[in-house]
Amino acid sequence: MLDRALGYIELGWAVFPLVPNAKKPLTKNGFKDAAKSAYLVRKWWTERPDANIGIATGEASGLAVVDVDVKNGAKGRESLASIKGMTPTLTAATPSGGWHLYYAWPEGGMRSKNGLLPGVDVKADGGYVVAPGSRIDGKDYEWLDPEAHIMAVPDAVIALMRNGTGPKPGPGPEPGGDIPEGLRNATLASMAGSMRKRGMDSEAITAALKVVNAKRCKPPLPEAEVEAVAASISRYPAAEGPGPPQPTAAEEEDDIRPPGFTDDALALEFTAKHAENWRYVAAWGYWLHWEGPRWLKETTLKAFDLARRTCREASARCQHPKIAAKIASAPTVAAVERLARADRRHAATAGQWDEDHLLFIASKEEPVCS
C-alpha cells in the first residue's frame, strides 16, 4: 500500500490514510490532513501498513471525481447514462460495482456536491475518494485502464453543478404514477436499463419509452430526447447495465502510440539521459543521486520531474495532438518513472551502501549491479 500511496503523490495528488478495510480517515482532521510529502506518507503507512488510501479531491489534488453508486439499488448507472456528453476518462471500479470517474479540477473551482443525480455525487473541494489499491471486505478498488488520460469535467456536469438542474435525492415516482420534471431522464434511463438487461433491442426500448413519456412524464420530454436516452442505453450489451463512458473504436485506434512514444520507450529515453547519476534502491523505496563526492537520498520528487521533462519533450515531437496530450499526462509520467526504477542501469541493492544510507560503497565508476 505504501508504494501505491507514494505513486499518487508523484502524480501530484494529496493522500492520507484510512482505517483498514474501511473508508473512515485515520488522521484527526481527515482529508484536511492530506499531504504530498513522501516523509509523511512513509510515516503513516509504516505505522499502519494495511491502511487504505484516501485522495483529497478538489484543488488539493487537481481532481474532480464523479462518484457513481449502485449499492442497495442506487440508480447511479441510469443517472450516468442520462447525462449527455460524458467523456471517457481515468476511471476506477469500486467494490460495490460503482465507479469513480476522475476528471481535472476546473478553473474557477468546484465544490463537492452530494445528490447531483440519484446515485451520483461529485467529489471536489471539501471531499475525498478511496483510491485504487484500497480494499474493503476482500474486494479491491481498481483502475479500469491505468493508462487512461484524465479529461476535463464535461460541460453537462458543470451545468448541473452550477444551475442545480439535476434531480434532488429522494424517492422516485410511484409505480405507474406521474414522473415529474427533474426525474424524467433518470427514470426513463432506469426503465431502459431494465429493458436492455432483458434483451430488448433499441427499437423496442425506444417505442416503450415513448409510451411512458406520453402517458406519465409531466410534461413529456421532446421525442428526440427520449430517443437519445434509448440510444444511450442500447449501446450496452444485453444483460449488462450501462457503465462509465467508453472510447469508441476510432478513439481507441487514435490512442495507439507509434514506436518511440510508448511508456517503455520513454522510460528507456529517461535512463539513457540519467543512468550515470541516478540510482533506485527498491528495498528503501527511494531514489539517490550523485552530488560530487557522494550519493544523496532524493526527497524532492526530482526524479519524477525529470520523467515529466522527458515526457514533455516527447510530447512536443509527437504530431498527433491526442497522443501528445496523453504522453504529457500525469499517468504516463508516473508510468515512465516506475519503469525506470526497474532498469538495471538504475537498480541498486541496500547492501551496496554504507550504514548511513548516503555513501555508496563502490566508486561511482563501478557497476551498480552484476
The residues, any chain, with a CB within 8 Å of residue 229's CB and separated by 6 or more, are 81, 82, 185, 188, 189, 192, 209
pLDDT at position 186: 66
For every residue of 70-120, DSSP letters joined together read -GGG--HHHHHHHSTT----EEEE-TTS-EEEEEEPPTT--B-EEEEETTE
Are 192 and 162 found together in one domain?
no
CATH assignment at residue 10: 3.30.2250
- Which of 187, 168, 163 minimizes the C-alpha distance to 75? 187
- Model confidence band, residue 84 (pLDDT cutoffs 50, 70, 90): confident
pLDDT at position 368: 38
> Hey, is 343 helix, strand or coil?
coil
Last residue of a domain, one of 246, 279, 297: 246
pLDDT at position 366: 40
Interatomic CA distance for residues 345 and 272, integer angstroms = 9
Q: 357 in a domain, yes or no?
A: no
Q: 234 in a domain, yes or no?
A: yes
Q: What percentage of the chain carries pLDDT values higher than 70?
A: 84
Residue 218 has pLDDT above 80, yes or no: yes
Last residue of a domain, one of 246, 276, 295: 246
Interatomic CA distance for residues 61 and 231, integer angstroms = 35
For every residue of 20-61, DSSP letters joined together read TTSSSBSSTTGGGG-B--HHHHHHHHHH-TT-EEEEE-BTTT
pLDDT at position 175: 65
Residue 247 has pLDDT above 80, yes or no: no
Are 240 and 335 found together in one domain?
no
Number of folded domains in the chain? 3
Are 97 and 141 found together in one domain?
yes
Are 228 and 258 found together in one domain?
no
Q: 368 in a domain, yes or no?
A: no
Are 175 and 284 found together in one domain?
no
How does the average pLDDT of the chain come out, rounded? Answer: 81
Q: What is the per-residue pLDDT across 309-323, written as a single tens digit (0 to 9) for each?
A: 999 999 889 888 778
- Domain hosting 232: range is 171-246
- Model confidence band, residue 20 (pLDDT cutoffs 50, 70, 90): very high
Are 159 and 241 found together in one domain?
no
Are 1 and 149 found together in one domain?
yes
Beta strand 120-123 pairing with 99-104:
unpaired
- What Rg do the C-alpha atoms of the chain give, in angstroms? 24
Residue 301 has pLDDT above 80, yes or no: no
- Model confidence band, residue 173 (pLDDT cutoffs 50, 70, 90): low
Place of cell 525506470: 340
Are 4 and 133 found together in one domain?
yes
Are 35 and 124 found together in one domain?
yes
307-315, Cβ contacts within 8 angstroms, sequence gap of 24 or more: 307/266, 307/270, 307/333, 307/334, 307/336, 307/337, 307/340, 308/333, 310/266, 310/269, 310/270, 310/273, 310/336, 311/266, 311/336, 314/260, 314/261, 314/266, 314/269
Residue 101 has pLDDT above 70, yes or no: yes
Task: Report the pLDDT averaged over residues 27-34.
Answer: 93
Residue 248 has pLDDT above 60, yes or no: no
Compute how many other C-beta atoms are within 10 angstroms of the C-beta atom of residue 198: 11
Query: Which one is predicted more confidently, 233 or 99?
Result: 99
Residue 169 has pLDDT above 70, yes or no: no
Last residue of a domain, one of 143, 166, 189: 166
Are 318 and 270 found together in one domain?
yes
pLDDT at position 55: 96
Q: 360 in a domain, yes or no?
A: no
* Buried/exposed code over 39-78 (b: 16+ C-beta within 10 A; e: otherwise): ebbbebbeeeeebbbbbbbbebbbbbbbbbbbeeebbbbb
Q: 158 in a domain, yes or no?
A: yes
Are 39 and 94 found together in one domain?
yes
Q: What percentage of the chain carries pLDDT values higher than 90?
A: 29
Are 107 and 183 found together in one domain?
no
With 0.75 as the threshold, say if the pTM is over it. Answer: no
